[in-house]
Amino acid sequence: MSDKEFINIEKRGMIKVGIARMALFPISDLNALYDKLVELIGPVANKAFYLAGVEGATTFGNPMFDRDILQKNESGYNAAVEAYSQAGFGNFYVKEFNFDEGTAFVSGTETFEASDGQRQIVAQIRSNGHCNHSRGVFAAFMRLVTNRKDMECVEVKCEALGDATCDFKIAPRKVLEREDFIF
């Protein structure tokens, strides 16, 4: 499927990416929403954004994988990450993928959560600077591709904290816990 077929303005007020309806949403609104969530519920807001990423990617990905628009293999995972990039969430690339082990490494720049214009805001409201929504998306895509529910994602580098890229490690939860990542 070409980019032209994959991203469509179906009619006034309706944008589709693949078969999922999308909407343009200013990043400043996202940061304001996050800030308000932190005020209301505290640090658990990070988990809320992660779970929102999981749910959104699952809602997008399930029909794409079920209808064989995306394959449940490395190329399908790459295509899902590419769709996320093309939808405006950042310039992401899958650097490593191992289906048998259920691991992947995704790297990105200009991420919607930590882009140049948002770095100071994100760093101020998220002491760890993590791109929680994107983490959830990459975990969900791996869950869909591998049919495993134990897949999680951690961010090991973040543009909001001054790193050159946002880097994400996707693996089974037990693997990440053995490496001292906390969820």
The structure's pTM equals 0.86
Stretch 157-169: mean pLDDT:
90
Question: What value does the mean pLDDT of the chain take?
Answer: 85
For the range 74-79, what are the long-range contacts, defined as Cβ-Cβ under 8 Å and sequence gap of 24 or more?
74/99, 76/145, 77/104, 77/141, 77/142, 77/145
Token digits of residue 104: 């992947």
The CATH class of the 27-178 domain is alpha beta
Band (pLDDT 50/70/90 cuts) for residue 45 is: confident
pLDDT at 1: 47
Helices within the chain (DSSP H only) = 3-6, 27-41, 44-66, 74-84, 119-125, 132-146, 173-178
